[in-house]
Chains A and B, each alone.
Chain A
Amino acid sequence: MFEMPKVSTSKTPYVFLALGAALFLFGSYWGLFVAPPAADMREVQRIMYVHVPTAWNWMLAVLFSFGCAVAFLFNNDSKWDARLEGGLEVGTLFAFLLCCQGAIWAKPTWGVWWDWDPRLTSTAVLLFAFLGILALRNFVEDPVKRAIWSAVATIIAAVDLPIVYMSVKWWNSLHQEQSTPQTVASPFHLPLRTNAFAVLFLMIGFIMLRSRVAAYRLRRELAAPPVRIGEEAGELV
């Protein structure tokens, strides 16, 4: 049965957000000002201190969304739908950020805003796929149908991600060499890892809060159980 989800009021997401923000400030300061520049002396390489953590966490967000979708289809518990909504929105946001970061890196490096790098191109395709699922959620009023359909669409989109990546990689490899911000040697690992955890904590906090909002909305959309439910109204022989 699709029941009203419980909404937690714990402070945990705020703890995550605070921790994440603090780590992010620390990691970014280190990456921007303290760590030595990359071997080819280009400052724009420093974007990897944000880009790589965002990329790792984006993939986690997609995996999380896929997990919520499968969990929902198995046990019909509305809390998975609330979490899926959080995962989808945060995943969409991160995909968008990745594309922006990629463009910011590409323009000074290659002279073009977009260079069809397989990883970023796959991210862009998934960005549109998730936007489509969010649009679907917007247009379906019945909460149960909305949950089932978004779960189905999320599973289909997530399964597609590796296929899209492979096909774009082949498609691109016939034309030009790979061109991504390179991850590099050890002096750079600490700020990178710090920011990776920073973004992870921020992401967890955001997803938790967004899921709460989704759960509140579900509670508003689903009517409370009727009074006197199950009362017998007479039995026929």
Chain B
Amino acid sequence: MLAAALRKELLLQWRSRGQMMAVFVFGAAALLLFSFAIGPNAHALRTFSAGFLWLGLLLSSTLTLAESFHAEMENRALEGLLLLPSDPRALYYAKAIANWLQLTILGCALVPVMVVLYDAGTTELLTLFAVIVLGTAGLSAPGTLYAAMTAQVKAKQTLLPLLLFPLIVPALLASVKATSLAITGDPMEQSRSWIVLLAAFDLIYWSLCGLLYGKVVEE
């Protein structure tokens, strides 16, 4: 059933790929605005480039996550699936994986923007990719759960960031730190500990949110 659910998620995402483009533009615009906020200070921009990348990604993620439930709520399709019956956990993991994929693509797409705007290039591409993969996983797991919740509520646009942002602070810290070390150099080999923290966060939340999802989507 996970395979069936995943196929559906990827199909839905492929159909709305135009929206992905729009979210990418939003993310790139955010990165641009950050540089205006700091000013033409090349050193400062380079030092904080990792922070800007992840903030831009975080803000964009609220759009992606909210959007991922739009199709489910329009005609109550999610309820339709649950009544077949479907295992809510399979539905959760399929959606979380699909969101994770989308955010990873977005993250990778924003890296060139970061490199150009902040002169923040790096040769540690593998590390950077690993951090993006693990960091977006940390956003996707609780994000998918909260998006499911807030999609059913009137004030959905404010509630999702309000609930998600405090929660993902550890993932944000670790991702920014590890990315920053990849860009500015890592003489003391610290990025490994941050990556381990990220992996632990991911493990805990992918399990916990999978367990709790059924409660959130069933009446």
Which of B36-44, B125-133, B147-155 has 4 or more CB atoms under 8 Å from chain A? B147-155
Chain A residues within 8 Å of B1, by CB: none
Closest to B198 in A: A167
Interface residue tally for chain B (C-beta within 8 Å): 35
Query: Does A157 contact B159, Cβ atoms closer than 8 Å?
Result: no
Query: Does B166 contact A136, Cβ atoms closer than 8 Å?
Result: no
State A73–B215 Cα separation when bound (angstroms). Answer: 9
Q: Distance (Å) between the CB of A39 and the closest chain B CB?
A: 34
Query: Does A148 contact B169, Cβ atoms closer than 8 Å?
Result: no
Does B208 interact with chain A (Cβ within 8 Å)? yes
Closest to A174 in B: B190
Query: Does A152 contact B163, Cβ atoms closer than 8 Å?
Result: no
- How many residue pairs link A and B with beta carbons under 8 A? The number is 83
Chain A residues within 8 Å of B174, by CB: 167
Query: Does B169 contact A167, Cβ atoms closer than 8 Å?
Result: yes
Chain B residues within 8 Å of A149, by CB: 149, 216
State A94–B182 Cα separation when bound (angstroms). Answer: 39
Interface residues of A in 174-205 (CB under 8 A from B): 174
Does A19 interact with chain B (Cβ within 8 Å)? no
Does A156 interact with chain B (Cβ within 8 Å)? yes
Q: Distance (Å) between the CB of A153 and the closest chain B CB?
A: 6
Does B8 interact with chain A (Cβ within 8 Å)? no
State A22–B95 Cα separation when bound (angstroms). Answer: 55
0/1 interface trace, chain B 158-173, chain A, CB 8 Å (1 if under):
1100110111011001
Interface residue tally for chain A (C-beta within 8 Å): 31
0/1 interface trace, chain B 176-187, chain A, CB 8 Å (1 if under):
010000000000
Does B209 interact with chain A (Cβ within 8 Å)? yes
Q: A148-B215, A167-B173 are in contact. Are A156 and B149 (CB under 8 A)?
A: no
Q: Distance (Å) between the CB of B92 and the closest chain A CB?
A: 12
Query: Does A159 contact B208, Cβ atoms closer than 8 Å?
Result: yes
State A81–B108 Cα separation when bound (angstroms). Answer: 43
Which 9 pairs of residues, A with B, have the shortest CB-CB distance? A167-B170, A129-B166, A128-B166, A132-B162, A132-B163, A163-B170, A139-B155, A167-B173, A152-B212
A132-B159, A145-B219 known; 16 new pairs, CB 8 Å cut-off, are A128-B165, A136-B153, A148-B216, A149-B149, A149-B216, A152-B149, A153-B149, A155-B208, A156-B205, A159-B208, A160-B167, A163-B201, A164-B169, A164-B170, A167-B174, A171-B173
Listed in ascending order, the chain A residues whose CB lies under 8 Å from chain B are 73, 125-126, 128-129, 131-133, 135-136, 139-140, 145, 148-149, 151-153, 155-157, 159-160, 163-164, 166-168, 170-171, 174
Can you report 5 A-B residue pairs in the complex whose CB atoms are below 8 A from each other?
A: A145-B219, A156-B145, A156-B167, A160-B166, A170-B193
